Amino acid sequence: MTIVAIDGPAGSGKSTLARLLSRRLGYLYLDTGAMYRAIAYLALQDGVALDDEASLATLTRNAHLAFDESGHMLARDRDVSEEIRRPAVSAAVSEVSAHAHVRDILVAEQRRIAAAGDVVMEGRDIGTVVCPAAEVKIFLTAAPKVRAERRRKELVTAGEHVGSNEMLAAIEARDAFDSGRAVSPLRRADDAVELDTSPLTIAQVLDSMERIVRERLHQRR
């Protein structure tokens, strides 16, 4: 069993690159951020206060989260992959994911999935909290303006129009919240390889990630 942990801030390309890397390696892909987004989405739908940790924990236990064969996020047996990427969910997910009881439930599920076989897991605390013994750890980053523009283009493609300055402010706020939260803050694991994706194409980053994985696994033999 091999675990490849991909961490990094919002807009660093984690989801796209982790998915592509998993296909190239023939590993399972697990987007842990989608799980937190699904809980945030359900909380907004149900009218659960984002600061009500007990109610959010109950919601999480009953959310029936799963990934289908295409990697789509399912919640309560419904595909919510598009809904969880909307701005309202993006604005809520940091507060939801900061609750210790919510994280405990989801981390346990993430570890259960990881124990089933070779997996590429991406999020913000995979290499530091979820799977600190992962064989390979990669920390993806990029300049805030670059990440903001990437996220803005994603939203435009999905039919959501957000201004560049607004998106940059949202990215910077998310960075500050995720890095400063008391529970599982965003940080690079000491043994993670950091990759700045700002000047690179997806293909270039993917090649670098594959090389890192194969080198690390070769060193462990």
Contact between 18 and 134 (Cβ < 8 Å): no
Residue 126 is part of which domain span? 3-219
Say if CB 7 and CB 192 are below 8 A apart: yes
Give the span between the Cα atoms of 142 and 153, in whole angstroms: 16
CA distance 33 to 141: 16
Return the CATH number at 186.
3.40.50.300
Residue with tokens 């924990």: 57
Q: What's the whole-model pTM score?
A: 0.86
Instruction: Walk along the chain (221 residues) and give the pLDDT tens digit of each residue.
Output: 899 999 999 889 898 999 999 999 999 999 999 999 999 999 999 999 999 999 999 999 999 999 887 788 999 999 999 999 888 998 899 899 989 999 999 999 999 988 888 999 999 899 999 999 999 999 999 999 999 998 888 888 878 888 889 999 989 998 998 888 888 888 999 999 999 999 999 999 999 999 999 998 888 76
DSSP string for residues in 178-209: HHH-SSS-----TTPEEEE-TT--HHHHHHHH
What are φ and ψ of residue 198, in 5° steps? Answer: -50, -50
The β-bridge relationship of strands 193-196 and 119-123 is: unpaired
Structural domains in the chain (count)? 1
